[in-house]
Copies of this chain bind each other. A is one copy, B any other.
Amino acid sequence: MKPIKVGLLGIGTVGSGTFNVLKRNQEEIMRRAGRAIEITMVADLNVERARELTNGECEIVNDANLVVNHPDIDIVIELIGGYGIAKDLVLKAIANGKHVVTANKALLATHGNEIFKAAQDKGVMVAFEAAVAGGIPIIKALREGLTANRIEWIAGIINGTTNFILSEMRDKGIDFATALKDAQALGYAEADPTFDIEGVDAAHKATIMASIAFGIPMQFNKAHVEGITKLEAIDIRYAEQLGYRIKLLGITKRSDKGVELRVHPTLIPEKRLIANVEGAMNAVLVQGDAVGATLYYGKGAGAEPTASAVIADLVDITRLATADPEHRVPHLAFQPNSLSDLVILPMSEIVTSYYLRLHVADKAGVLADVTKILAESSISIDAMLQKEPAEGEQRTDIVMLTHQTQEKNILAAIAQIEALSSVFGSVTKLRLEELS
């Protein structure tokens, strides 16, 4: 059969990785796909650089419209990023009957519903393995590998930058600002790291996973997004003394009332495998009712790991292109007419355990006052750490781990605790997941 012709939009890090891997492994990929897969056109504003990167082996244009409108192109790879021009181009490619592969989590988490609807109407595929956890085939696992299951929850380390920073903070006992600078110097954080450190990137990915796990539309605007910028080194230390690690997790969980969708720093027991995922690595833990817990681990970013996912999507499309569009793997794992209207729960309604750190006067009765408030709120204490005050200090830290309670319940209790005259400043609150 004749080769599958691919047009590439944007030849930056992942784009050149994709070009290189596809070329290096072309013989093996063809043996798998049954057809050659060739990037024949590349659109990039930097035409000169694109020409160098591709050794003059494909047509280079600076107008991406020429690619999405080209009659010979079977699949368009969108690696431009963002919601603006990328969205237009993806929709144009679909309208022109081309399959699309994209690594653009921001685009899918915010405009995915519109894009998948358009693709459904045209009978083309939009594949996005590279949008979540880089080279780890987690989309495929959720959408195809675990289809027997009622998925109960997912918890993932899905942002390498923040995991690197957290690993450094713990390893070296340094604060966030220092660890961020180290990460930038080593290339693990961008010059403007906002999307990573504020949890936005992880929330995009969690939104996509929630959608394919539970069969709900993409609802990024309902996600709770909390990064690691306010995390203090002392809480990492206290957590460790209690047998926990702090990770930035993307969590989505189904309950009778709806779906929790949240990204925040989270204490997890150090004995869990996922607690030991260090540096820039990613891992996703999935709980299904039949299979139990499964974990997927690997590199979540970088040129070739991400290219690995992009090319897997190209091969998938090549293999499945002849299947009846009505029955082949649905974009969101569930048939488009069977999506659920389960609501995304507001944060006040979520249920989890908590880590609380209080700065208190070192005198009798303080602990009694605090535990009384918690008891009256029906919040039970799982573990506690009370530090001796430092030499000459009259104040000390109390650290508590609670059992599960509703977020609004703990917030009300914290407000009461903060009103105590023997408690100074605000209470530090982190969420805790046993992941068992």
Contact = CB atoms under 8 A, between A and B. Distances in A.
Interface of A: 1, 17, 21-22, 24-25, 28-35, 129, 134-137, 140-141, 144-150, 215, 273, 276-277, 283, 288-299, 304-305, 307-312, 315-316, 318-324, 326-330, 333-335, 338
A353 to B, nearest CB: 23
A31 to B, nearest CB: 4
A276 B275 CA distance: 12
Instruction: Find the residue from A28, A318, A329 having the highest chain B CB count within 10 A.
Output: A28
B148 A144 contact: no
A295 B296 contact: yes
Contact of A315 (B32, B35, B144, B319): B144
B320 A328 contact: yes
B129 A25 contact: no
Given A135-B294, A294-B298, A296-B295, A29 B323 contact: no
A325 to B, nearest CB: 9
29 contacts: A17-B290, A21-B290, A25-B148, A25-B289, A28-B215, A29-B147, A31-B335, A34-B330, A134-B291, A135-B288, A135-B290, A137-B140, A137-B146, A140-B140, A140-B141, A148-B312, A148-B315, A149-B308, A276-B276, A288-B308, A290-B308, A292-B298, A292-B299, A292-B304, A294-B297, A294-B298, A295-B295, A297-B297, A318-B327
A97 B38 CA distance: 35
Q: Which 9 A-B pairs have the closest CB atoms?
A: A137-B145, A148-B311, A294-B298, A323-B323, A135-B291, A31-B338, A322-B324, A291-B308, A295-B297
